[in-house]
Chains A and B, each alone.
Chain A
Amino acid sequence: MSNEDIRIGVFICHCGTNIGGVLDITELIEYTKTLPNVAYSAGNLYTCSEVGLSNIRENIKEHNLNRVIVASCSPRTHEPLFRSTCQEAGLNPYLFEMVNIRDQDSWVHMKEPQKGTEKAKDLIRMSVYKASLLEPLEKMQVSVIPSAAVIGGGIAGMNAALTLANQSFKVSLIEKDSELGGLIRHLHKTYPTNEDASNILETRNLAESHKEIDVYKSATIEKIEGYVGNYKIVILQEKKMIEIEVGAIIVATGARVLSPEGYYNYNGKTIISQLELEGLLKENSVNAKNIAMIQCVGCRNEERRYCSNICCMTALKNAILIKEQNPDANITIIFRDIQAQGVTYEEYYRRAREMGIIFIKYLPDKPPIIKEDHLEVYNEFMNQVIGIPHDLVVLSMPLIANEDSERLAKMLKVPLEENNFFLEAHVKLRPVDFATDGVFVCGSAHWPADISESISQSNAAASRASTILSKEMLEVEGSTAEVNPDLCIGCEACIKICPYSAISKDEETDTAVVNKVVCKGCGVCGASCPQNAIIIHHFTSDQIIAEIVTYGGGD
């Protein structure tokens, strides 16, 4: 296509007042019209609304546009939508460019609208120059293996496996312990119904006996490779390597309880953890009369800033159970904020008060001090230190990330957050997805979760996985890297740096080869190649240099 044939349409979004309230849109439209190859330029109140989209479609036809630029918000959220809009109007989706004049312009320059408008001109101009050089690309089609691997056999993992298996998908359920069940095995009873934990554990039998589920116990993951629809997992079980192939993976590895060693003179006898109390309750051997429970031990502090979500309810449950057995027991829960969200849990908290359980709020900088037969705590509600007699102190320890989560995250090429819990693709709208396609997360591996939350999430992860497993073919990203074998010297720099393990070496030619299905087009390889042998489609050197030059970066 020669330069003369390029007809660019630029759609500038007001985004209500998000952009329109700061930048001078009219000026931008007029300015854009002066740029080379721009055949059409107009504003939209909300480009992403159905009106805005049909406006794009109509103008592609009316003005015979063969490049489309939307100047609006973030491609992270909106690029797929605009691309498919272009496609619907008969345009190759890779002939679309997006300029972020909101997050990176109108929001940051709210107080200096003129400078913001000038910046938007630069950004749009750069995009126009790049757009002129865009090439059509094709998305790849890959086949899908209709089975899933669920890593972790706690309540979340078991339930995710069952939900998929009940939809006739084959599932491999992989557990590192010698039996399924996870943390629930150590619990006495479960809130909010106070029934035996063994009731919930019946899921175990269902999972083990389901014809679509293969259970691997005492099994560890040694290797994961492949890509959405086509993962290969190597499992080590009883010194045997087993290789399975699946279309999707669900991470349900759970979490562990922080050890109480070293907190509040923990001694395992008169000062024990909540988990140890569960054990005593199971054996019906709680003999203490005056029991004090301390919440938020080892969390909501400098070391671990987060709230572990489940400890308040756990303490309430155990306190209620003790009270039910022994109404004369005096139980004091020393807390910071009682986390009892929603309908049932708040009711449960009220019930605990009704049973006569005492609650004292403490401040992080004035934690309780445990003495021989009583403990002392500064009571914020009274502005003074209060003594509480005790013969047993129970420490509520938080859930923390599993030790091996880092290893697993690396194998899966998915990120962890600062506390080493798995980091989802989007907190709000993709809470059980990873940015990596075909991998999902649920339960406490994601964040401390109780039983019903874990089950809810595991159903969700199963649902998300089924959207892949139910398809025969999948489309994957078309803007990928490509190695020019003539220039490649086989130095392997790109192979080492690729975060997706998408590059391997063709031993015959001694050059690097990109697996286009795995490649995300991130561009790291291209930047690292000493030979300039790698083309990143959609982000070619020519395209980027054109942007830089027009911005004023020399020639």
Chain B
Amino acid sequence: MSKISKNVMVIGGGIAGIQASLDLAERGIKVDLIEKNACIGGRMAQLDKTFPTNDCSICILAPKLAECFRHPNITLHTLSEVKNLSGQQGDFKVKIFKKARYVKEDECINCGQCIEKCPMRVEDEFDMKLRKRRAIYIDYVQGVPSIMTIDRENCLFFTKNACRICEKVCEREAIDFDQEDEEIELNVGSIIVATGYDIFNPKSLNSLGYGRYPNVVTALEFERLISASGPLGGHLTRPSDKNEPKKLAFINCVGSRDIKNNPYCSSCCCMYTTKEAMIAYEHNNEIETSIFYIDLRAAGKGFREYIERGENKYAISYIKGKVAKILEDEQRNPIIVYEDINTSQVKQFKFDLVILATTMVPKKDAVTLAKILGIKTNDFNFFKANSYYPQISSKEGIFLCGACREPMDIPSSVVDASGAAAKAAEAIMRG
């Protein structure tokens, strides 16, 4: 066997990046895992449960997060972004920009005292802005590394040269306002890109009323609303009046399969809307759900059976048809206008809560990253993958996995990630 001398860099610490890193690390290869946020975990950490097993998402993810943190072959670079790349397969030089955390990583024990005292209230991106966090924070309770971060944009010390209260209450003297951003250089043999996806903002679809109607939410918002660790503590109520919703509607293909927005299919929505309806039903057996769809795409293992289960055991009705218009009544109930194709009649149906299955879209900085890495993107700004060898990018030594190349679900991302790990390993063995 040839000797391995180079590290592999993995960009993105979601489930794909984590799986790729773990495979490589277990394979005996040293990995630099680059994560833009303060914690790894990505989108999967935001989910309540996962289809088709309805496993609690964070519960199956958490052991992997811990493994990533503890593995001697993995170096975690959080709050970090790739700024420059030179060299070629076997010998890449990468410049990484590391934002200061203002918290000493070795000292903070995540006791949370600083959070209690921090006077700032900031929109919490992890919770889809459904609640506020503080200016010193951790993305989520199980977040890894499990230490605090000060958000410079909102911290009173940085904005108004005041406060510093966290510094005073921290018994371990872990706060360090003198930390500075730094640039480090890594030398790696191959690179795996696993930067994931963003969510389409349905505000531009005016007829659906998102942003105007409080009881029209996106699927990821709903995921947080229903999550045990979410802003409602797992007790589902609707935004306008905190009443328990009984009639739910999901609208599939919001912003996808749509030439005017995103022509592609978002791959997972048929399944995750079913899952969310199932979880809602488990919370409250009086809940009835309608899922409006164009084609029910459930080709994965056990997926079709999952849909059948939803229909038979979870009071889900699947209604063929896309919804163009949502109205609202005086009690702020969303009213869906849809065509019942059995009668060819257009009907109006009142729901308590409407959930929009919004498309997975490329990360907003995907094009910038593609330029830095020198890889191609496709027409929609996903990273361009080989048609038959999907982990292969347009550049030698750089591999792709997960939703950064195409919308996909967790199992596909995990497969993709392991596959990319194999290719990245192969590359440094040749190189």
Contact = CB atoms under 8 A, between A and B. Distances in A.
User: Is there direct touching of A and B in the complex, by C-beta distance under 8 Å?
Assistant: yes
Interface of A: 15-18, 21, 45-46, 48-51, 53-54, 73, 77-78, 80-81, 146, 163, 166-169, 190, 192-193, 200, 300, 305-309, 337-347, 350, 380-381, 383, 417, 421, 426-432, 446-448, 451-452, 455-464, 466-467, 470-471
B60 A16 contact: no
Residue among B299, B421, B425 with max Cβ neighbours from chain A (10 Å): B299
29 contacts: A15-B228, A16-B228, A50-B66, A54-B109, A77-B59, A78-B59, A80-B63, A81-B63, A190-B388, A192-B387, A300-B304, A337-B298, A340-B295, A342-B265, A343-B380, A383-B341, A428-B410, A428-B411, A429-B15, A429-B60, A431-B414, A446-B301, A447-B301, A448-B299, A457-B419, A460-B415, A463-B425, A466-B23, A467-B23
B66 A341 contact: no
Interface string B285-304: 00000000001111111111
B50 interface: yes
Contact of B28 (A15, A169, A192, A471): A471
Contacts of A54: 109
B297 A463 contact: no
A274 to B, nearest CB: 16
B146 interface: yes
Contacts of A337: 295-298
B63 A77 contact: yes
Interface string B376-418: 0010101000011111000000000000001110111011111
A49 B62 contact: yes
A459 B304 contact: no
Nearest to A159: B389
Secondary structure dominating the interface of A? loop
Given A166-B430, A383-B343, A464-B418, 13 more contacts: A15-B228, A18-B228, A21-B233, A49-B142, A50-B66, A50-B144, A80-B63, A168-B1, A342-B265, A342-B406, A428-B53, A430-B414, A463-B422
Interface residues of B, number: 83
8 smallest A-B Cβ distances: which pairs? Answer: A459-B419, A460-B418, A50-B146, A463-B422, A467-B26, A343-B264, A337-B295, A309-B299
A16 B45 CA distance: 13
A296 to B, nearest CB: 10
B337 interface: no
B265 A340 contact: yes
B66 A452 contact: no
B362 to A, nearest CB: 10
B136 to A, nearest CB: 16
Nearest to A424: B301
A380 B318 CA distance: 15
Contacts of A77: 59-60, 63
B397 to A, nearest CB: 14
B144 A463 contact: no
A16 B235 CA distance: 13
A209 B110 CA distance: 56
Given A163-B422, A163-B426, A21 B234 contact: yes
A427 B411 contact: yes
B305 A305 contact: yes
Residue among B50, B343, B418 with max Cβ neighbours from chain A (10 Å): B418
Given A21-B234, A163-B423, A343-B378, A51 B146 contact: yes
Contacts of B53: 426-428
B56 interface: yes
Secondary structure dominating the interface of B? loop
Nearest to A349: B265
Given A380-B341, A421-B301, A432-B418, A347 B63 contact: no
Interface of B: 1-2, 15, 19, 23, 26-28, 50, 52-53, 55-56, 59-60, 62-64, 66-67, 69, 109-110, 141-146, 228-229, 233-234, 257, 263-265, 267, 295-305, 308, 320, 341-344, 378, 380, 382, 387-391, 406-408, 410-412, 414-423, 425-426, 429-430
B265 to A, nearest CB: 4
A51 B109 contact: yes
A8 B65 CA distance: 27
A192 B295 CA distance: 20
Contact of A46 (B62, B145, B407, B418): B62
A463 B419 contact: yes
B234 A17 contact: yes
A144 to B, nearest CB: 12
B422 A342 contact: no
A457 B408 CA distance: 14
B388 A200 contact: yes
Contact of A451 (B300, B380, B388): B388
Contact of B406 (A307, A343, A461, A463): A343
A460 B60 contact: no
Given A166-B430, A452-B388, A17 B423 contact: no
Contact of A428 (B60, B141, B265): B60
Contacts of B426: 163, 166-167
Given A81-B63, A380-B320, A428-B410, A46 B142 contact: yes
A17 B56 CA distance: 12
A146 B415 CA distance: 23
Contact of B257 (A190, A308, A346): A346
B407 A343 contact: yes
A77 B60 CA distance: 6
B145 to A, nearest CB: 7
A171 to B, nearest CB: 13
Contact of A455 (B229, B389, B421): B389
A455 B55 CA distance: 27
B422 A48 contact: no
A339 B390 contact: no
Contacts of A305: 304-305, 308
B409 to A, nearest CB: 9
A427 B387 contact: no
Contacts of A192: 387
B334 to A, nearest CB: 26
Contacts of B233: 17, 21
B40 to A, nearest CB: 11
A343 B66 CA distance: 33
A48 B60 contact: no
B174 to A, nearest CB: 14
A430 B45 CA distance: 17
